[in-house]
Amino acid sequence: MASMIHRLQRIVQEVNRAPGIDRALVLITESLTRDLNADACTIFLAAKDEPGVLVLQACSGLNPEIIGKVKLKPGQGLIGAIAARAEAMNLINAPVHKKFMLVPESGETDFPVMLGVPIIAHRDVLGVISVQRVEDAFNEDEEAFLTTLAAQLATSIERAESQDRFSSKRATHMIKGVAGAPGMAIGVALVLNRGVAFESVPDKKTDDVEGELKSFREAVRKVCDELTEQASLMRASLPEEECALFIAYAQMLSGGSLIDDTEQSIKAGNWAPSSWRETVEQHAYVFTRMEDRYLAERANDIRDLGLRVLRKLMLEQSAYIDFPEQTILVGDEVTATDLADVPIECLSGVISAHGSSSSHVAILAHALGIPAVMGVPNLPVKQLDGVNLVVDGYNGSAFVNPGKSILTEYRQYLKEEAAIEQNLLELKDQPAITSDQHKVSLLVNSGLMSDYTPSLRSGAEGVGLYRTEIPFQIRDRFPSEEEQYLIYKDVLETFKGMPVVLRTLDVGGDKPLSYFPINEANPFLGWRGVRITLDHPEIFVTQVRAMIRASVNANNLEILLPMISGKAELVECLGLIRRVRAEIEEETGRQILLPRIGAMIEVPSAVYQIEDICALSDFVSIGTNDLTQYLLAVDRNNENVADLFSSLHPAVLKAMIQIVQGAAVSETPVSVCGELAGDPLGVMALLGMGIDSLSMSVGSLLRAKKVIMSFSYEELAELLQQALTMSDSILIRKMYAARLDERGLGGLIRAGK
């Protein structure tokens, strides 16, 4: 088993290092012929321009002149049958099978024993791998090996094909992910890398060879010094042999091929980080290919050493980043910290290989009014730095090296979008009232000081969700009570006379704190929200003290408790809040008004306890992002299941209706602060339930108001009943979108009018 796993890893690593699909396929055929003692190996891949057709792309042991010439229609021949059935076929005498089709001049009749397996990714059959022998049937272990390898190679083949598509710096390509935040942008890609992964180090050329050499040598020197110091410290408590690894690392950096090869690459005009990346990967690859397991494991030592130097090197480089005027931030996994690194006046868009529309960074992009495309499979990050891009956050796509026609089209779209925004500004001072005179409160989600002025200018009626975790995330320690007090006082006074809902600290999941690490196998079902702050009441009490002190003169504070999963947590939070109020009253000698306290409904258990929760709360706010995640069992950060995530899913709609009905028993107000509240289609559904308080990103507010003013409560209630008869969210979205189009409002949800 260990040998099988090692062989699998070696083949996949070889393929992942291949510069393109052709070389990758040659490596696969050569490796399989060797590892399975086969006499021939073929790889058929799906044709890009002919649906269902398979084309022979590589072979070993057969006539190489047939490569690219053999094409099989759906179900044709044994290869076509394997693809059509999407399952393996293991034959002792393939030529006698009824589906066998002889390819003239291939030489395959010499190899009657055949094993073929499909290559499948995300339900699509990408191709078929087959191996053949003169004699001796392929056994179960060999079949298992090939099936396992095909499953692992699916992603590698997609990645290699992606690299091929982007190898031309001039050709236009479209990439497709999921819509993360609406809007459009034309700009230049910038790849940020903090030295945490070689895969995200972009390719760059340099004119400053001496400067790059200096940065590289300085990074190497710092790591050498650290390693020597670590070895000295460890000698006091560990045997000499345990310290030897650090000495060996330092010696590897003192000279030799690792250093020489990197400097040669820099002198050839490549910047230091990509030169170091290539050298480390090449040296690690040499060890990976070794049959001796001990020596093969040394590849990990090379990569570990490489990352140590890379981190220092990226720190050296980060001070000299030249941000394009229209920066499109691109990364393997763009983070909130990455967003903060780009000057706000330069940030125009985001493209991330990982994440979904409900990822924390997508929500922040939405708040900033920045279009985002998330979860782009096989995004060739390191090839994109400095490349021209068009980002379409409405449909989750982007164009790389856009041609003249695409640029003309999107410039027109941007003009039309600007015209729509200008028309929407006329609504800012008008109340959000349906055509049959139902008033809806529109508030904003915030957490950034830059939101304040736009929020007031948009006609927001207050802050429905202030994300207090953002001030925590941008620090390297917990903010003090006084620091928090000043932040909360600022927002409460800015929106004086309007409600301001401050959510208590909501970290964990995809919102980490660098100085408070939480390592969990399943963080979204783990220690987050009030679970953390109740386990650490000192954090909760400090924050609530700052909130209540800040509200003394403004008297517009409302406190929202995240991740409430049942009555007991709510009771405990309320007890602490009342204790804090009493302490401040004692300290100041004045009576303090207890703020309205609400519970965030985002955990399914809270839906079923809604009446008990409402009996203790002044209001409840539905967090549709997490409620959807938990109801549908879909990780909202996982691009592999991003297409399954939809807050318009019938189950989510029915859960929200249950919340509204349960809250009505005690006449508890219900608001929605999740991303659905800012989606024009979501607004239609929520109003249909009778919800009349919505909180959203400031950029969505006037669009939501336009929708509200264009429909009657009665019509939206009828549409909701239609939606509840439908089986999936796709049909529901189409129905609501069609009704928007009838009103001439299609430009609110897509590029163009």
pLDDT at 679 (0 to 100): 94
In the 8-state DSSP scheme, what is residue 437? -
- Region 663-688 average pLDDT: 96
User: Does the pLDDT of residue 117 top 90, yes or no?
Assistant: yes
User: Does the pLDDT of residue 75 top 60, yes or no?
Assistant: yes
pLDDT at 244 (0 to 100): 65
CB of 561 closer than 8 Å to CB of 530: yes
Q: SS3 breakdown of the chain: % helix, strand, coil, rounded to 5?
A: 50, 15, 35
pLDDT at 453 (0 to 100): 73
Residues labelled as active-site residues: 360, 673
pLDDT at 2 (0 to 100): 43
Which residues is 445 bridged to in the sheet?
465
- Per-residue model confidence as pLDDT tens digits over 544-597: 999 999 999 889 999 999 999 999 999 999 999 999 999 999 999 989 999 999
CB of 315 closer than 8 Å to CB of 143: no
Residue scoring higher pLDDT (482 or 50): 482
User: Does the pLDDT of residue 662 top 70, yes or no?
Assistant: yes
Name which of 238-247, 435-444, 687-696 the model is least confident about: 238-247
- Per-residue model confidence as pLDDT tens digits over 404-450: 999 999 999 999 988 888 889 899 899 999 999 999 999 999 876 66
pTM here is: 0.76
Q: Closest Cα to residue 561, out of 577, 581, 538, 545?
A: 577
* Residue 525: C-alpha distances to residues 90, 437, 602 (Å): 43, 42, 12
Cα gap 80→220, rounded to integer Å: 54
pLDDT category at 510 given cuts 50, 70, 90 is low
- Region 99-114 average pLDDT: 88
Tokens of 361: 């960074």
- Per-residue model confidence as pLDDT tens digits over 320-348: 677 899 999 998 888 777 787 788 889 99
| % of the chain with per-residue pLDDT over 90 | 50
Domains, the chain, in order of start with CATH, read 2-166 (3.30.450.40), 173-192+322-405 (3.50.30.10), 198-318 (1.10.274.10), 431-748 (3.20.20.60)
User: Does the pLDDT of residue 54 top 80, yes or no?
Assistant: yes
pLDDT at 750 (0 to 100): 87
- Region 681-694 average pLDDT: 97
DSSP, collapsed to helix, strand or coil, labels residue 129 as strand
pLDDT at 1 (0 to 100): 41
CB of 423 closer than 8 Å to CB of 429: no
- Region 668-691 average pLDDT: 96
Cα gap 113→126, rounded to integer Å: 23
- Per-residue model confidence as pLDDT tens digits over 350-398: 999 888 777 778 888 888 889 999 988 888 887 888 899 999 999 899 9
- Region 280-305 average pLDDT: 71
Cα gap 186→415, rounded to integer Å: 12
pLDDT at 292 (0 to 100): 58
- Region 140-168 average pLDDT: 79
Which residues is 160 bridged to in the sheet?
none
DSSP per-residue codes, 127-164: EEEEEEESSS---HHHHHHHHHHHHHHHHHHHHHHHHH
Kindly report the length of the chain.
753
Q: What is the number of other CB atoms lying within 10 angstroms of the CB of residue 523?
A: 17
pLDDT category at 238 given cuts 50, 70, 90 is low
pLDDT category at 207 given cuts 50, 70, 90 is confident
Instruction: Label each residue of 487-501 as H, E or C.
Output: HHHHHHHHCCCCCEE
In the 8-state DSSP scheme, what is residue 480? P
